[in-house]
């Protein structure tokens, strides 16, 4: 009898061991899907979205930035995947979430992606942590001041590129309209793209939304004192209750004076009437070359 019982126990154990483990089966299937999605991205997408591409020469935001931005907006998997699929299927500004990337790189061209492939790609980008781009890894080795300056200059580069395009298209009148409508949204978009809150402020703001607060005003005054002494202006970082804040000085150049110089001298009075029509509270005039006009304010803690 004991032998029969032992035999039954052994048979039961063998039978249990031979049964498929649903969890293992699911994990294997998921790994296979991710492997296929990764292979698809490498073949069709990595040339533009590569994490190893140089920051200044890359053609599109890296997968790491895409994943992080979409997770910020859509932490739930279903919403994340649907938003990404919508953009993959129809890459328009209406479906775009990364406006800063579009300003820098332009819209992605339409891609012929099968529905099941689009779903697999979206699932992969939600579930698999993406490799941090080389330039972000390098930033971690920079001093906080260097990092603040680089983030500010990257944002300045995008604004400058768009401003120059507006100037070429319709002169300073068209550039004025661009600044009025697009400057702050573009800066906000670059904050999302670079994953750090970035803004411009001034003690004599044209747009009241760019007005410096008490602490920022003190930094501007400090830079003005350094200029009077003939000293070079450097980025600085201050620790506050909101984390590490970087300040990068903005100084005037001859092109700035067309809109911010002395009235009747560099600044044409007729043109200034157009400025006042868009900015009734404008205070941003009367500057000379090489003067402190404001600050880039960079939150060094990631969004």
Residue 15 covered by a domain? no
Instruction: Give the chain's domain count.
Output: 2
Residue 288 covered by a domain? yes
CATH number of the domain that residue 102 is part of: 1.10.760
Question: Is the whole-model pTM more than 0.85?
Answer: no
Pick 145 or 30 by higher pLDDT.
Answer: 145
Same domain, 169 and 294: yes
Residue 22 covered by a domain? no
Same domain, 175 and 124: no
Same domain, 291 and 170: yes
Same domain, 186 and 120: no
Residue 153 covered by a domain? no
Same domain, 74 and 165: no
Residue 11 covered by a domain? no
- Domain holding 237, by residue range, is 158-299
Residue 187 covered by a domain? yes
Distance (Å, rounded) from C-alpha 80 to C-alpha 185? 23
pLDDT tens string 158-192: 999 999 999 899 999 999 999 999 999 989 888 98
Residue 109 — very low, low, confident or very high, per pLDDT cuts 50/70/90? confident
């Amino acid at each position: 009898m004991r032998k029969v019982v032992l035999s039954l126990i052994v048979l039961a154990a063998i039978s249990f061991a031979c049964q498929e483990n649903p969890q293992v089966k699911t994990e294997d299937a998921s790994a296979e899907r991710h492997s296929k999605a990764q292979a698809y991205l490498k073949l069709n997408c990595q040339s533009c979205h590569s994490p190893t591409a140089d920051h200044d020469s890359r053609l599109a935001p890296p997968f790491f930035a895409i994943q992080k931005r979409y997770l910020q907006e859509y932490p739930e998997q279903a919403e994340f995947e649907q938003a990404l699929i919508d953009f993959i299927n129809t890459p328009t500004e209406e479906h775009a979430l990364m406006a800063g990337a579009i300003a820098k790189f332009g819209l992605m061209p339409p891609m012929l992606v099968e529905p099941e492939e689009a779903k697999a790609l979206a699932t992969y980008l939600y579930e698999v942590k993406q490799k941090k781009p080389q330039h972000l890894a390098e930033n971690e080795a920079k001093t906080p001041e260097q990092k603040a300056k680089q983030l500010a200059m990257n944002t300045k580069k995008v604004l400058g590129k768009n401003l120059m395009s507006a100037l070429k298209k319709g002169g300073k009148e068209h550039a004025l309209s661009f600044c009025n409508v697009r400057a702050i949204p573009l800066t906000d978009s670059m904050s999302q793209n670079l994953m750090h809150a970035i803004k411009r402020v001034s003690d004599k703001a044209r747009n009241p939304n760019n007005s410096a607060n008490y602490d920022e005003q003190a930094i501007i005054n400090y830079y003005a004192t350094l200029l009077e002494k003939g000293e070079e202006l450097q980025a600085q970082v201050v620790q506050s209750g909101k984390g590490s804040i970087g300040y990068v000085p903005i100084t005037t150049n001859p092109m700035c004076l067309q809109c911010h110089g002395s009235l009747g001298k560099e600044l044409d009075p007729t043109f200034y009437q157009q400025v006042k029509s868009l900015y009734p509270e404008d205070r941003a005039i009367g500057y000379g070359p090489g003067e402190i006009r404001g600050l880039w304010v960079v939150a060094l803690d990631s969004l």
